[in-house]
Amino acid sequence: DQQVKQNSPSLSVQEGRISILNCDYTNSMFDYFLWYKKYPAEGPTFLISISSIKDKNEDGRFTVFLNKSAKHLSLHIVPSQPGDSAVYFCAASGDNDMRFGAGTRLTVKP
């Protein structure tokens, strides 16, 4: 069972516009959420995280929103840049468990 779902396998946006990547989870024990970015032939790298005691965390162009009642989080990238083109993984942890989503491939077109 996929406890963390990223329903959009891919997303394409124009440079300068907003990118919104979505993630849903099912396990109510998850209390910490992270986004990772992955370039080809490299390991994932941490991007931004949010604790369940918050509903928003911002770091430069990246903002993560958490809606606990809907078990949904999203990553906003504003403005999007061509260098943001990568696969983005959502991760959820809690109760000694960590699960990753299947990833969303973001393409930012110049």
Partner 1 sequence: DAGITQSPRYKITETGRQVTLMCHQTWSHSYMFWYRQDLGHGLRLIYYSAAADITDKGEVPDGYVVSRSKTENFPLTLESATRSQTSVYFCASSESLGQAGQTSYEQYFGPGTRLTVT
Site for partner 1, rule CB under 8 A:
4, 6, 31-32, 34, 36, 41-46, 49, 51-53, 89, 91, 93-94, 96, 98-103
Beta carbon nearer to partner 1, 75 or 100:
100
Q: How far is the CB of 12 from partner 1 (least distance, A)?
A: 19
Which residues, 6+ apart, have CB-to-CB distance to 49 below 8 Å? Answer: 32, 33, 34, 35, 57, 64
Q: How far is the CB of 63 from partner 1 (least distance, A)?
A: 16
Beta carbon nearer to partner 1, 32 or 65:
32
Q: How far is the CB of 2 from partner 1 (least distance, A)?
A: 8
Beta carbon nearer to partner 1, 77 or 91:
91
Beta carbon nearer to partner 1, 18 or 46:
46
Neighbours of 60 (CB within 10 A): 8
Written in H, E and C, the secondary structure of 37-82 is EECCCCCCEEEEEEECCCCEEEECCEEEEEECCCCEEEEEECCCCH
Q: How far is the CB of 65 from partner 1 (least distance, A)?
A: 17
CA 88 to mean position of chain CA atoms: 6
Amino acid at 69: S
